[in-house]
Structure 1
Amino acid sequence: MQTIVFLGSRGYGTSHEAIKTAKELGCYTVLISDRYRSGLTEADELICVPDLAERNEILVRLKKLEDKGNRIAACLSFIDPYVSCAAQLSEELGLGDFSSGALALAEDKTAVRNKLKGLKSSPFFSVIDKGIDIRGFALCHAERFPLILKPSVSNGSKDIKLVKSEGEMKEALYAFKDKQPILAEEYLDGPQYLIEAAVYKGEVLIAAVIEQEWNESFIITGYAFPAELSRDAALSLTDAVRDIVQHIGIEHGSCHLEMRYVKGRWKLVEINPRMSGGWMNKIIETGTGGNLLKEVLKMQLGEEPVFHESIPRSTYARYLTVNTAGRLLHISGIEQAMNLDGIEHVLLKTERGCIVRPPKSMGDRFACIIAAADTMQHAKKAARDAAKRLRLYVEPL
């Protein structure tokens, strides 16, 4: 039977939806996880491997699957940092060339910056290695403040610091003392966009462009789809995305980029070698009626992806966070929120008994409200009105 193997999964969002979508395509699904998740997977079969980076152990398990009659057609992951590992497994299984080297490069932010150095879309950056003279570094870059500091290997907007002085830089680097090397990047002042892209037989295809909203910790709290861009901005964005993806060397696979439009130029914030996590697929599906995740899976099975070309509905997703840490007792107002005009989805990540806290990464967002309307203004109002209906009851820690 045609089998898709998934390397790692979460209990919600893209990686969780991917398993259900693969079953809708008629595939037998296997989840390889580093822990047993009873009741938390939709997969037909769960294989536990303590270390998902141990390719040899995983290959032994996959060989046993084949011996049972499973025809492995694809092996992939939507979880950092297993994307390139899954691509390597696919190549070792003889399923094709899945750009594993390029995907591995894209998982390392310092490697990406060095690879793209010289492109118009590449902002100023510098690498701070362990043992560097922080005072000397700060003095050399005094004219470049403010700067963004972040670990070379990070995701979900985790550990991003905006520093405006030598003192703030010292404080941030002390917090990062166990996470070297650190990237120091030019602060980009301009609207930020998420670009969902796929590469099929070397051709870069843009599936969606979404404007983002963020808080003071750079946690994304709002997504507006489709992004409103001028014709010139849209054309130059397409050129910039293709240039970036081709320079990294991705010939096959999906990816998403975050870019800012600064003084008429597109600048890369970061690229990740997979489709966005969270409820991105539902946001795009609400706006277009098309299932991006299904097309990504079909592409991994060797089929050409087909992206929906209808005029999208104005769709806005509002992600919610808490201000106080504690144990969640109850969430009320869900039904009232769902009954408001324009509300398509009220999606909860957090369950009763879970710990909630002020956001330090995107994973700390506890819910997502998706609204659609005839205009973006109306969609935003609907989502924000719905958010006011939700009330969390939290027991302080």
Structure 2
Amino acid sequence: MQTIVFIGSNKSGTSREALSISTTMGYYTVLLTNRREFIKQEKEFTEVHQMVYVENLMDKEMIFSIINNLEEGRKQICAVISFIDPFVSFAARISKKLGLFQMSTDALAFMEEKTRFREHLKSLPVSPKFTIFHGKHSIQHFVEENQRQLPLILKSPISNGSKDVLLVETYSELKEGLDYLNKKFPSIPILIEEYLIGTQYLIEVIVKDGQISIVAVIEQEVLNGDRFIITGYCYPAVVENETLEELQIAVESIIQALELENGTCHLEMRLIEGKWKLIEINPRMSGGAMNRIIQEGTGINLIKETLKLYLGQDPYLEATKRTHVYAKFLTVSSRGRLIKVTGKTKALNYDGVKEVYVKPRKGAILTKPYSLGDRYAYVIASADTPEQAKEIALIASKEIKFYLEPF
């Protein structure tokens, strides 16, 4: 039986949706997970044919042992995939060892570690100014040397989903931020970047045999604060043709410099005084509701086309429709235990609303947003114009209310 093995998954979003699509495509779907609660909730994963608990998903010997058992059970392994950091390049290396379709493992690994890709791309005009702080150095001395560069962005090189990404604007914030990250990641250097003010865009890319395809360009709206939480996505981004052409050139220069011949990635870039600057790059498609946003706007099921790529097939990326889509993500302003959520049905009944999703269950502890994982619901709407799509999503989202017990 033709089989796809997935290394890791979240409870919802792109990685979970990939499991369902794999099964819909006719593959025997195996999930390797390090989350014990998933094993307890296995019956809820109806799209998964087999789930296996693996304490360390980077344990190569264990992964190969499981794959060997699957093959002895007459399962033909067609692909080993991960949509989860930091397992993307690891899964690609497993695939390579098995003689499956070869992804660009080195390029994927570069994208998983932020200091490495910054160093690798530093000669490109899209790269912002940056420096690296090593824990063995004096924080006080570093702050005194770099305070004139404020405001700055501090990042853990292994962060994802806006976790451990800090905006620091003062001498004391820089010192406190470095101290916080240094204690949290004592053996990992800290990436410090210039703070760039401008509209931010997300770019979804698939590369097959060196052919670079920009699937979607989406404008992002960032929640006010110092954690860069994205609460709005507008597809397609309203950008002049000349600016889009410059974006195409910038993206191609990044992909070529990384030597990505086969793989997917999403980039976050800002337009600064007419020039594109690279904020982030990750070796997978974006998580959350990204697949639904793109599918509503273009008809392209990007997860399905990504799976086809990993299977060695040619992805089909021609849009079958062109619609404006807006996704509004919801957060809460204080910490508490969830009593109930109301308004989902009302929100779904608005004309133009395509999906309403509420993530947490009753009894869950909710908090104000520190990462993208602290977004607790979303509303996706489509319309003939970007203004209409946004208006529908915003009005419908106001129907959703979280009732919290202080915790």
The one-letter code of the counterpart of 1:315 is V
Aligned to 1:176: 181
Distance 1:38 1:19 in 2: 13
Deviates more, 1:193-202 or 1:135-144: 135-144
1:352-391 per-residue CA deviation (whole Å, 9 max, x = no partner) reads 2211111110011000100111111111111111111111
Q: Identify the match of residue 279 of structure 2 among 266, 269, 287.
A: 269
SS at match of 1:139: helix
1:55-97 per-residue CA deviation (whole Å, 9 max, x = no partner) reads 1111011011111111101000011111111101101111032
**Do residues 229 (structure 1) and 233 (structure 2) align?**
no
Distance 2:122 2:65 in 1: 40
Distance 1:134 1:291 in 2: 47
**Do residues 353 (structure 1) and 357 (structure 2) align?**
no
How large is the Cα RMSD of the aligned pairs?
1.2
The one-letter code of the counterpart of 2:93 is Q
Pairing of 1:291-330 with structure 2 (within 5 A): 291-310=301-320, 312-330=322-340
The one-letter code of the counterpart of 2:194 is E
Q: Identify the match of residue 68 of structure 1 among 62, 69, 73.
A: 73
Q: Identify the match of residue 125 of structure 1 among 130, 142, 147.
A: 130
Aligned to 1:372: 382
Aligned to 1:2: 2
**TM-score of the superposition, structure 1-length normalised?**
0.97
Contiguous gaps of at least 5 residues in structure 1: none
The one-letter code of the counterpart of 2:306 is V
The one-letter code of the counterpart of 1:228 is V
Q: 1:324 Cα shift?
A: 1.4
**Do residues 185 (structure 1) and 185 (structure 2) align?**
no
Distance 2:29 2:95 in 1: 15
Deviates more, 1:302-311 or 1:326-335: 302-311
Distance 1:354 1:168 in 2: 31
Aligned to 1:253: 263
**Do residues 20 (structure 1) and 25 (structure 2) align?**
no
The one-letter code of the counterpart of 1:144 is Q
Deviates more, 1:245-254 or 1:4-13: 245-254
The one-letter code of the counterpart of 1:51 is N
**Do residues 220 (structure 1) and 230 (structure 2) align?**
yes
Q: 1:163 Cα shift?
A: 1.4
SS at match of 2:42: coil
Aligned to 2:204: 196
Aligned to 1:134: 139
SS at match of 2:291: helix
Pairing of 1:269-288 with structure 2 (within 5 A): 269-288=279-298
SS at match of 1:298: helix
Distance 2:64 2:15 in 1: 21
Distance 1:392 1:138 in 2: 41
**Do residues 82 (structure 1) and 87 (structure 2) align?**
yes
Question: Contact 2:7–2:82 (CA<8 Å) still a contact in 1?
Answer: yes
Q: 1:248 Cα shift?
A: 1.5
Distance 2:169 2:363 in 1: 39
Question: Contact 2:199–2:219 (CA<8 Å) still a contact in 1?
Answer: yes
Contiguous gaps of at least 5 residues in structure 2: none
Q: 1:310 Cα shift?
A: 4.2
**TM-score of the superposition, structure 2-length normalised?**
0.95
Question: Contact 1:11–1:40 (CA<8 Å) still a contact in 2?
Answer: no
Aligned to 1:96: 101
Question: Contact 2:300–2:320 (CA<8 Å) still a contact in 1?
Answer: no
Q: Identify the match of residue 207 of structure 1 among 215, 229, 239.
A: 215
Aligned to 1:238: 248
Question: Contact 1:8–1:32 (CA<8 Å) still a contact in 2?
Answer: yes
SS at match of 1:189: coil
Q: 1:222 Cα shift?
A: 0.3
1:127-164 per-residue CA deviation (whole Å, 9 max, x = no partner) reads 01103233332333333211111111100011211112
Question: Contact 1:322–1:357 (CA<8 Å) still a contact in 2?
Answer: yes
**Do residues 389 (structure 1) and 396 (structure 2) align?**
no
SS at match of 1:312: coil
Q: 1:312 Cα shift?
A: 2.1
Structure 1 residues 288 and 96, CA, compared in 2 at 3 Å: closer, same or farther?
closer
Pairing of 1:148-163 with structure 2 (within 5 A): 148-163=153-168
Distance 1:349 1:93 in 2: 36
Question: Contact 2:264–2:284 (CA<8 Å) still a contact in 1?
Answer: yes
1:266-288 per-residue CA deviation (whole Å, 9 max, x = no partner) reads 10001000011111101111111
SS at match of 1:53: coil
Question: Contact 1:33–1:47 (CA<8 Å) still a contact in 2?
Answer: yes
Distance 2:43 2:406 in 1: 28
Deviates more, 1:134-143 or 1:154-163: 134-143
Question: Contact 2:353–2:392 (CA<8 Å) still a contact in 1?
Answer: yes
Aligned to 2:110: 105
Distance 1:107 1:47 in 2: 25
Q: 1:176 Cα shift?
A: 1.0
Deviates more, 1:273-282 or 1:350-359: 350-359
Distance 1:133 1:393 in 2: 46
Question: Contact 1:193–1:212 (CA<8 Å) still a contact in 2?
Answer: yes
